[in-house]
């Protein structure tokens, strides 16, 4: 069964490509909702319909409280950063995001990251 995933990515074009790439049925993940902002993400996560979220480092108002709320909802977080953007990666890691991937990662790498993050340490 595919891991149900939310997206919360600030760049609509990039997010569209991401969702299309993950739409293949053989990757073990299924995007169940594309969230438009942090409030939408937190509300959707609270419904229990997803086990993970792919979010961009520049998501407005992303903070430790939001990440705590995602954890309480049982939603694992995979951060996506522009390739080589060490500042964005550092910001996500300082907030507590353990799994961070470059936004140009392959669909296979992203889906593997989601599955690993959901499985836990």
CA distance 56 to 58: 5
In the numeric block, the tokens 């995602």 are attached to 70
User: Residue 25's CB: how many other CB atoms inside 10 A?
Assistant: 7
Do 27 and 107 touch, CB atoms closer than 8 A?
A: yes
Per-residue model confidence (pLDDT) at position 121: 67
- Percent of the chain at pLDDT > 90 equals 83
Q: Is the dihedral of CA 73, 92, 105, 41 positive or negative?
A: positive
> Is pLDDT above 70 for 42?
yes
Mean pLDDT computed over 23-48:
93
Residue 101 has phi, psi (to 5 degrees) of: -125, 155
Helices and strands (H and E) in the chain: how many = 5, 5
> Is pLDDT above 90 for 8?
yes
Mean pLDDT computed over 86-104:
95
Mean pLDDT computed over 40-47:
97
Per-residue model confidence (pLDDT) at position 28: 92
Q: What angle do CA 71, 72, 75 make, to 5 degrees?
A: 45
> Is pLDDT above 80 for 25?
no
The answer to which of 10-14, 49-53, 56-60 has the lowest mean pLDDT is 10-14
Give the tokens for residue 103. Answer: 């936004």
Cross-sheet strand order for the sheet of 29-34:
29-34, 3-8, 52-56, 76-81, 99-102
Mean pLDDT computed over 69-89:
96
Per-residue model confidence (pLDDT) at position 13: 86
Mean pLDDT computed over 57-69:
95
């Amino acid at each position: 069964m595919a891991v149900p995933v939310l997206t919360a990515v600030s760049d609509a074009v990039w997010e569209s490509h991401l969702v299309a790439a993950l739409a293949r049925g053989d990757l073990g993940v299924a995007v169940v909702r594309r969230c438009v902002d942090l409030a939408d993400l937190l509300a959707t996560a609270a419904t229990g319909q997803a086990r993970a979220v792919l979010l961009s480092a520049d998501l407005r108002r992303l903070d430790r409280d939001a990440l705590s709320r995602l954890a309480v909802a049982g939603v694992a977080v995979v951060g996506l950063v522009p390739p080589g953007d060490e500042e964005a990666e550092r910001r996500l890691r300082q907030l507590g995001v353990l799994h961070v991937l470059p936004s140009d990662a392959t669909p296979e790498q992203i889906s593997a990251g989601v599955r690993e993050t959901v499985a836990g340490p």
